[in-house]
Structure formats: C-alpha cells, structure tokens
Amino acid sequence: MSRPVYFEPEESMAYHGGEDVMHALMSIAGRYIGANPPHPPVYRVSRPGLVRKCDDHRYVFPLVELFPNMQRGQQLYAWAKLWSDSDQEFVFHITCFGPARLYHNGVLIYGSAPEEEYPEMPVLKLKCGLVKGWNHFVLEFKLGEKGGGGQFGTGSRKNKPLHFIVPTFERDGEEGWLYTEPLDAPLSEIPSGPMREKDTGVNWLPREEDPEKASSHGQLARMYGLTSGLSAYAWTKISGTKCGVETVLISGEAYSPIEFSVEGKVVFHQEQAGCFRFELPLSAAVQDLTVKCTCGDRDWGFRMDQTTQELLTPALDVKGHRGNWLYLGPFQAEQEIDLASCQKMKRTVRSGTGEDVYWRTEVPDGEVRPFLENEWFGRWNYPLGVTLYGLLQLGKAGQRSNIRDYVLSHIEFASSRFSYSLWDRERYGAAGLNNQLSQIDSLDDCGSFGATMLLADQERKLDGVSETAAHIADYILNEQARLEDGTLYRKIGVSRSMDNTMWCDDLYMSIPFLCRYAEWSGDDKLLDEAARQVLLYKKYLYIPERQIMSHVFDVERGEPTRTPWGRGNGWVLFSISELLTALPQEHPSYTVLIQFYRELCEGYLALQGRNGLWHQVLSDPESYEETSCTSMFIYAYARGVRKGWLLDPKPYAQAAYQGWKGLSERSIDKRGNVYGVCRGSSYSFTNHYYKHELGWNLNDTHGIGIVLLAGLETISMQEWQTNKPVFAAERVGTREKLEKSSF
C-alpha cells in the first residue's frame, strides 16, 4: 500500500498538524463534542396501558386482551409516526399473532402469510425505505386461528432503540400509538400523513377527553380520587417579562386547602375552599410557581382566573402537553417532599400510597416521561465508555476544563437517572433512557462505561454513582454466566448464533471496572478476580505459536475460532495494561501476568504493518488498516515502556511512534475525523467475515476514545524518554528518523 486508504495525504492530520500530538487530539475532541452537543432529554406525554413496549423495545398489540369480544372478520388499526434524519433503508422487526398488514406512508409494504401468524413465530425482519422527516406507519390486525395482534418496532435494544409518536394534530408529540376499536369494515383510506382524528372517520384510542368536561370535580380529584389526608403538588412558571410590572394579582378558586410558593418560598396560604386573591412581587426572571393542595371532604384542586392564567408558562417543555401545569402526588398531607429535587426530573418519589410516582399532566393517564433522543450525548453503552475515558484524560492532560466538564455531564446524565430508568422500564415495558443500564444482561451493558464512571467520580462526586456501581458489581460477580471453572462467558448472546460463546472483547468489559471498583470500594478481592479472568481467558483463547489471541471460544464446539481479529486482540492488551497498572507487584499473579503481557506484545510486534498500523485481520496485510486495534497496541506499548514492563523497550517505543505516525498520516484527517474503525462485530471461524464483511465506520465511537488515549500515552512516553538519561541519545535518533512525521 503506497498511499493512504481513506483520504489523500494533503487531507491528513500529519500534513496540517505536523508533530504536535496534542493538536491532533484536541482536533478530534473538538469535532466530536461539536457534533454531539449536550442537549437535555426530550419530555413526552406517555399513557401506560396494554399497548406498550416489550424488553426488546418493540410495541406489543395484544388484541385478545384489548378486546375479548372481537369477532372474526373484524379489523383493528394502529397508527403512529417515526422521525428519520435522512432517506435511508431501515430494518424493522415484526411478530404476527394473527393476520397482519403493515402500511408505510399509505403504501402496503407487508402482509402476513398463514405460516407466519402465530405468537411463537421467530421475529421477521422487514426492510423499509424511510424518507427524511416523519414516516407514518399503520398496522392492520385481524383474528386468526391462534389469536390476533402482534409486536412491531425497531428491535434494537442494544444500540439506539426508537420510540413511535402519536401522529394526529390533536396529540402531536405524545409517545406511543393510537388504535381503533374492532371495525366491521376496513378504513376507507389508510392515514399517510398528519390529520385530525375526526377526519379519519373513526374514533381512536386511548380517548382524548377534555379534562374539564370529564367531571365536575377539580383536577386533583379526577387524577387521584377523594381520600382525606392526601396532598399533591402542581407546578408551573411565571415571568415578570410577560406583564411588564413589578407585582401582579394572582386570583382564582380553590376547591380545598391550598398553598402557593415561588422558588420554594411560601407566598400565600388558605385553609379552606373558596376564592383566593393575592399580590405577587415579580422579577424579570422566570420563576417556579408551585401549589400544594390538600384533599378536602368533597373535592380538591384549583382554578386560575383568566388574567392569571395568561401570566403562566409551561413548567417544562413536554411534547404532547398543551397545558401549563404538571402534577405530582398523591402524598400524605404531612409528608416531607423535596420538591426542588423532584423538579430536576431525575428521580421518582415515594407517594403516600407506597408507590413511586413521577410528574404527570391532568389529561387522563397522561404521564410525563424523559426520552433520550440525542445521537450520543447522555447515552450509556460500551463504546462510549472508551470514548469518554479518552476525552476525560485529554481534558485533564490538556488542562481543558470544558472537555472534562462535558464528560462529567454526560456520565452524570446517565448515573443520576439510574433509579428512574429502572422504574420507567417496570412501568412502561422498556426505559426511555439508559436502555442498556436499566436492563443489564451482558458485560457489554455495564463494565466499560461503568469503569469510566468510577474514574469520573474521582473528579467530582457524581449523582447516582454509588447505586449504579454497586448494581454493576453485583451483576459481574453474581449474575453474569460462568463456566464451571468460573470463566465469564456469554450463555445468552445478542442473537442465538452468539449463545454459548466467550469473547476476548469481554476482558475489557470486565477487567477495568473490577480494577476501579476495587479501588473505589476498598475491596482487593476484585483485583484477584480480574487477574483470574485474564488467566482463564488465556487458557481458552491464546494461540501460543503466534503469541496472539483467538477472537472467540465456542463453548458448544469446545474450540476457539482461531481468528486473529485486530480489535479483539486490542481489547486484551488494553485490558492487561489497565490491570498491571492497578495490580501490586507483590500480588501472586503479577509475575505470570506481566509475562503474558510481554508474550502478547512480542506477538503483535511481529504483525505491525509497513505503514505503522495493524490490520483488521492481524495476520493478513491485505485486510484494511484498522484504527482501533492500532491505537490499543500503541497505548499498551507506550505505557509498558514508561512503566518498565518490557525487558527491551526500544522496539516497542519505536513501534508506538511509528503507529502514531501511521494514524496521523492515514487515519486522522485535518478536521479531526477518525477513519478506519471497525464497526461492531459478530464472529466467525473464518477470516473472510472479518476481512470482507466487517467494514469500518467514520468516527465510530469504538475508536475515538482509544485514539485519544494512544496519543496521550505517546506524549507521556516522549516526556519520560526525554527526562530519562538512558534514552536521551536514542530519542534523538528516533526523531531524526521521523523528522517529517506527525507525532
């Protein structure tokens, strides 16, 4: 290969950034953060019910439970919309419990065959051409021999599961689906775009009722019933800029005892039902206005006069909610509630009936839910664990508090909402955020991000870390499947083809967390477990004649695949370097572990490519130059040189320099884009899959963070060599050889 694979030399970071490694790292970080701004969650109205998400994030439509008296020959329709940022081919998953049809933007794209119409049918994958913007989906269900209804959705719990939105003008922004009652005749026209519900000619469920007309009682009586001794809160906002005066008149009618507070300070109290009227001093800033109501003998709640109502603005931007007020309750009248904490929207609170509750609207069953709709910020998954690790270390090394704070905000977004996400999953079938953390069933779901979370918690105490970390530790130590000898493995994989396998990737999904949790908790037994796992994985996956690792061990076959996938091997050396950093030299396993590290380093050194990069298939120089494994080897080599782990550090220092030179010339462009990072993998017993089917992505989060870490370790090694006399002369020779390089 005489020229870069991914871009022209003039587009490279080396061409524009020269030898300044920190400049390259800051360019990568700036591009990533700029592309992923820290947007808050999107809040939407949701309605719990029988049409809800399942564990795999598909929606279930249980016809027999919804309508036990539905007759053969009738049909039911469900309607929702889905946003797409671009025109794209997308795969949906469907299971039919009976006859079913699927329409996309009014066009029939699927009709079930009789052999597909039963609940035990394996998931069917349907490819659909989404258009940029809103895409409308309509499902038509009938009763069949074995039932009716089905499950439909994106079926992507491990990556970025999507949620559907109510499509009509009346309820625009709500999460979920509308559905009809059983109809004797088909719809005259399949909805293909936004419409008013009445214009479709049928009624849609759940019913949209005017809450003020639904009952003669106040809103809190309608929502929570009449139980003497209960209380509840209402929350809105008020701003002096809306009226241009220093004081305003607040007036209306209370149906029970009532208390008003502004920014947590009580400004008015009334012990009986009746009209209220008081003046409120205002500032120009928007302020929280809260109302505490206590249930009376006959009613509770309140009504604001029109002039007061016009001063109010919604407490929160909740899609699908057209009012100004949100409600929280019910509580025991004397129960102490930290309302300011509740208004941060991060947690549920225990109600007076012993259940955890969250904010809601006064629309029947209209509850508020946060959804993570960002591309990456706030998301929890294992590639982001490494991405944020790299960004955090860069922020500290480069004295860039903005990068550090970005990472801490991302991590705390997830950790602070951990307990909420467990509740959200229980109530609605699948969580609207923290989808993997709230449903851990593999090391991928917890270890990598959890390890970075513990590192971040050393910078400042982050909300929710203690309970999240304890949950992860319990999963790894007590729930993750193990072989009889204690080796962690995947009894249940992401797909059935991955069941009963052991992946070298899982060393990184467990070892760094165990090391950091040992330090965080003070329990050194976790270091013992980390060391044990590395040696057990060596037993199953090591290829001694090449001194490298097989990607996967197939437990059912009882043999390794012997496929030398680049990133899988990178995970191993990366993990061992993390363990050796944490493990005391007097530990019983230290000697054998450092010997294993040296053997692997020697094996990988022999496979470094001519351009300084390692290849997707390590032993095949015709496979593409892969960025993430290259970065992991650079990181582990540079750290080993600096830590004194290598008996002869010279060739490894040179390999690390050549590796960074190759990255800056061939994998990082002048804009900070990172090329050549292999996408998430399955596995195979042949190299063909890794070489020809497992391609690379631009700016894949599997690679961004480890590129940053590799650069930082290269800088640290440079500084260490410069300051260590034995290396000073050799350092000059190295620089002469690489005088036009980009490190």
Strands 318-319 and 42-46: parallel
Give 492-549 pLDDT, tens digit per residue: 877 777 899 999 999 999 999 999 999 999 999 999 999 999 999 999 999 999 999 9
Q: What is the pLDDT of residue 743?
A: 28
Tell me which DSSP letter residue 439 carries.
G
Cβ proximity of 164 and 82 under 8 Å: yes
Q: Which of 205, 223, 246 is the last residue of a domain?
A: 205
Burial of 478-491, coded b for 16+ CB within 10 Å and e otherwise, reads eebbeeeeebbbbe
Task: Say what percent of the chain tops pLDDT 90.
Answer: 87
DSSP class of 622 = T
Q: Is residue 640 one of the residues assigned to a domain?
A: yes
Residue 551: inside a domain: yes
Do 675 and 733 fall within a single domain?
A: yes
Can you read off the two tokens belonging to residue 6? 């991914």
Six-digit token string for 524: 């050194």
- Residue 328 φ/ψ, nearest 5 degrees: -140, 130
Pairing of strands 356-357, 349-350: antiparallel
Identify the pLDDT of residue 214. 53
CATH number, domain containing residue 26: 1.50.10.10
Residue owning tokens 């775009």: 193
Residues 341 and 454 placed together within one structural domain of the fold? no
Cα angle value 146/147/153 (rounded, 5°) = 115
What's the rounded Cα separation, in Å, for the pair 378 and 622?
A: 38
Token pair belonging to 117:
């119409």
Mean local confidence (pLDDT), 82-108: 96
The answer to whether residues 413 and 350 belong to one domain is no
Instruction: Kindly state the average pLDDT of the residues 594-604.
Output: 98
Answer yes or no: is 6 within a domain. no
Is 9 a domain residue? no
Burial of 718 (0-12, 13-18, 19+ CB in 10 A): buried
Amino acid letter, residue 491: K
Helix, strand, or coil (residue 140) = strand
| pLDDT over threshold 80, residue 606 | yes
Q: Given 347, 371, 395, which residue is the final one in a domain?
A: 371
Q: What is the structure's pLDDT at 583?
A: 97
> How do residues 459-507 score in pLDDT, each as one tens digit?
999 999 999 999 999 999 999 999 999 999 999 877 777 899 999 999 9
Q: Are residues 384 and 343 in the same domain?
A: no
- In degrees and rounded to multiples of 5, residue 200 shows phi and psi of -80, -15
Looking at the fold, whether 365 and 382 belong to one and the same domain comes out as no
Q: 152-166, 357-371, 521-535 — which is least confidently predicted? A: 152-166
Final residue before a domain boundary, out of 352, 371, 390 = 371
- With contact defined as beta carbons under 8 Å apart, do 178 and 204 qualify? yes
Q: Tell me: do 95 and 28 sit in the same domain.
A: no
- The helix/strand/coil state of 567 is helix
Helix (H, G, I), strand (E, B) or coil at 263: coil
Residues 393 and 440 in one domain: yes
What's the CATH number where 132 sits?
2.60.120
- Report, as an integer, the average pLDDT of 216-229: 90
- Domain residues for the domain of 662 are 19-35+377-737
Please give the structure tokens belonging to residue 120.
């035990």
Q: Which residue has the tokens 């025109």?
A: 87
Q: State how many domains the chain has.
A: 3
- E strand or H helix at 707, and its extent? helix 704-723
Q: How far apart are CA 174 and CA 172, in angstroms?
A: 6
What local confidence, expressed as pLDDT, does residue 247 receive? Answer: 86
Residue ranges in 445-505 assigned as alpha helix (H): 447-457, 465-474
Q: Are residues 163 and 23 in the same domain?
A: no
12 part of a folded domain: no
Question: From CA 29, how far away is CA 31, in angstroms rounded?
Answer: 5
Task: Please indicate, yes or no, if residue 65 is contained in any of the structural domains.
Answer: yes
Give me the pLDDT at residue 255, please. 96
Residues 6+ positions from 435 with CB-CB distance below 8 Å: 57, 157, 161, 380, 421
Is position 491 within any domain?
Answer: yes
| C-alpha Rg value of the chain to the nearest Å | 30
> Are 162 and 228 in a shared domain?
no
Helix H or strand E segment including 259: strand 258-262
402 plus 478 within the same structural domain: yes
Read off the tokens for 9. Answer: 């030399």
**Domain assignment of residue 506, yes or no:** yes
Shared-domain flag, residues 215 and 85: no
**Residues 271 and 360 reside in one and the same domain:** yes
